[in-house]
Amino acid sequence: MTNETKGKGFVWQTRVLDPSPKAPSGFRSLAPAVYRGSTVTFDRLADAHDDWRGNRYTYGLYGTPTTRELGARVAQLESAHASFVVPGGQSAILLIYLTFCKADSHILLPDSAYGPNAELADGLLAGLGIEVESYDPLIGAGIAALIRPTTRLIWCESPGSITMEIQDVPAIVTAAHDAGVPVALDNTYAAGVFFDAFAHGVDVSMQAITKYVGGHSDLLLATVSVIEDAMLERVGTAHRLLGLAVSPDDCALALRGLQTLAIRLQRLEGTAIEVARWCKEQTEIDRVLHPALEDCPGHDIWRRDFTGSSSVFSIVLGRDWSGDRVTRFVEALRIFRIGFSWGGTTALVMAYESLPRKTGAYEGWLVRLNVGLEDPADLIADLEQAFAGASR
């Protein structure tokens, strides 16, 4: 008996529950369909087993047409073999750790990595007997000296969070691969496009699509991408066991975000460079940490390896800036909002005091700016009035 005929001959209370589709198929919309669903039904008992591989659907957790569509399109964007969609950047980081590490593993993480990554290392992972050692993000080939027989993973994040160090990823990859160690990259800043992770030898690359792919500060999602079958198998197995379910509605928003990613990135890049160049001329600012400007540690590597820059950069304030003056400056801003998660349409600001870095501590205050789609001249005027206000 087919699904079509299964519901016939029953009372309406039963018939109304018949899940087989009644509408004609073949609606070829430009917008990908949103499929919600936990349970998937089978025609044959023999097909009823969990599977995350191949083209079958077996359970909503392991993929719906909507989540798979998003994964496939991000994989295409990043020239990856496949991309897994996960609930957010932090869960992508966790998935990568749990794929490669077990008790007694040693991991290398740049000291400029996204803060909650380091917190995860010092907290939950330390409790599981996994040792995460931080390294100078500008170490390049020197990473070889830190690799131990128990090293199971080397993380890169380029540019680093807040202090914006550009890493020599190819040199780190060469040293890692010589020792048989895989390299993972947090490629969120580059939106998976301004730095081609796989062309530079990275084994597994993640990005918080919360930021640029989503692009409107209204969803939390991330992707973990792999370049070949063996990695697909390892990451996919851990992904299945961790139960990292994602909302198909959020995936649909991310699919929509992809349509305007190129045009938003182009605008954000232009605005960020214009605002950063203006900042460089201000006497109140010691340094501007923007990958496209020479002040940025690793700028030459950015020129060599990247095809663009995005919306976030930091300014280092002079030593004469007290905490009160920084607060006055940040709170005087009218367009830039105080907030953490960048990459949307709105300009954001956040202040950080004394970030410890192996390359030389930033002892004063750093302010991270994220430009949105606002007019660049308005953003500059906003900064100008806030600097003036903070000096009074």
**Residue in 137, 214, 190, 175 with CA at minimum distance from that of residue 310:** 190
Q: How many residues bind ligand PLP (CB under 6 A)?
A: 13
The interface mask with ligand PLP, positions 33-72, x = CB under 6 A, is ----------------------------------------
Q: Which region, judged by CB under 6 A, interacts with ligand PLP, from 67-75, 86-94, 167-175, 294-302?
A: 86-94
Q: What is the closest distance, in whole angstroms, from the C-beta atom of residue 200 to ligand PLP in the complex?
A: 17
Task: Sheet containing 348-355: give its strands across.
Answer: 285-289, 312-317, 362-370, 348-355, 337-338
Site for ligand PLP in 91-150 (CB under 6 A): 114
Q: What is the DSSP letter of 365?
A: E
Site for ligand PLP in 151-180 (CB under 6 A): 157, 161
Q: Which of 82, 220, 272, 317 binds ligand PLP (CB under 6 A)?
A: 220
**Residue in 114, 193, 203 with CA at minimum distance from that of residue 159:** 114
Q: Give the residue closest to ligand PLP by C-beta.
A: 89
Most distant pair of Cα atoms in the chain: their distance: 83
Q: What is the closest distance, in whole angstroms, from the C-beta atom of residue 209 to ligand PLP in the complex?
A: 8
Asked if 90 interacts with ligand PLP (CB under 6 A), we say yes
Tell the burial category of 363 from Cβ atoms under 10 Å away from its Cβ (0-12, 13-18, 19+). Answer: exposed
Task: Read off φ and ψ for residue 135, nearest 5 degrees.
Answer: -135, 160
Q: Which of 64, 134, 188, 205 binds ligand PLP (CB under 6 A)?
A: 188
* Residue nearer to ligand PLP on the CB measure, 138 or 386: 138
Asked if 88 interacts with ligand PLP (CB under 6 A), we say yes
- β-pair partners for 86: 222
Q: What is the closest distance, in whole angstroms, from the C-beta atom of residue 56 to ligand PLP in the complex?
A: 29
Q: What is the closest distance, in whole angstroms, from the C-beta atom of residue 253 to ligand PLP in the complex?
A: 13
| Distance in angstroms (rounded) separating the CA atoms of residues 195 and 202 | 11
Q: What is the closest distance, in whole angstroms, from the C-beta atom of residue 383 to ligand PLP in the complex?
A: 22
Q: Which of 89, 137, 192, 344 binds ligand PLP (CB under 6 A)?
A: 89
- 215: alpha, beta or left? (left if phi > 0; alpha if psi -120 to 50): left
| Distance in angstroms (rounded) separating the CA atoms of residues 390 and 392 | 6
Direct distance between the N- and C-terminal alpha carbons of the chain, in angstroms, rounded to an integer: 82
| Chain positions contacting ligand PLP, by CB under 6 A | 88-90, 114, 157, 161, 186, 188, 208, 210, 220, 222, 341
